[in-house]
Amino acid sequence: MDELSPEVEDTVRVRPRVEPELPFDPSSIEADTVILSAEEIRSELRAPSFAAPGGSRLNSSRPPEPAGEMVAKIHVGSHEAISLDRPTIIGRAPNPPRILQGIAPRLVMVPSPMKEVSASHVEFRQTGASVVLTDLGSTNGTRILPPNGANRLLRQGESTVILDGTIVEIGDGIRILLERSDSQTVRSGISDSEG
């Protein structure tokens, strides 16, 4: 073995300690965190309101909303709309960023029995009239299904502007719909049969 120089002979290497995943503690949730159970997600994915007749996609025949007048919303399945009045992080155990810039994000926890959804998987952020989707370094990726375009896989850490009616798949059958209107008709356009 080589001799160590005097500068490093007292250096100690420590391996990072891997903490076992602890059971879920509801008391650790902040007041603005939304939790969806696995059964809620499964039943919502099977709900008739989730699929349009004939398996069609989204009804995008509405006129666009005037810029800056409408706060966008997202729907996880048929769950109540979540306003994008502030950044929103979705994952199986989401955490806010270590360094906050501006308003604190809303954390939305979704079940992921197969662990396909990362702890902090994606962020939705409305900037003016645009909604920016960012993959937060997810392990299994984020699939974007725009209303009038080809499906696309977002790379780790990549951001993109998404349009009204875009469906975002994050794993374990969880689909998130971006909606910029109060109309409920857009929600009937999500189909489980698309891939």
CA distances from 107 to 119, 123, 124 (A): 11, 9, 11
Q: Are 163 and 187 in contact (CB under 8 A)?
A: no
- Would you kindly state where each structural domain of the chain is located, as residue ranges? 32-59+66-189
What pLDDT is attached to residue 34? 62
Average pLDDT per 10 consecutive residues for the chain, totaling 195 residues: 53 55 55 62 57 40 46 87 94 90 90 93 94 95 91 94 95 92 44 39
| β-pairing verdict for 142-145 and 167-171 | antiparallel
Q: How far is CA 30 from CA 93, 95, 124, 126, 133, in A?
A: 12, 10, 18, 22, 23
Rg (CA), the chain: 20
Task: Please state which CATH class domain 32-59+66-189 belongs to.
Answer: mainly beta
Give residue 43's pLDDT: 63
* pTM (global) more than 0.85: no
Position 166, amino acid = T
Q: What is the pLDDT of residue 45?
A: 59
CA pair distance 6, 100, nearest whole angstrom: 41
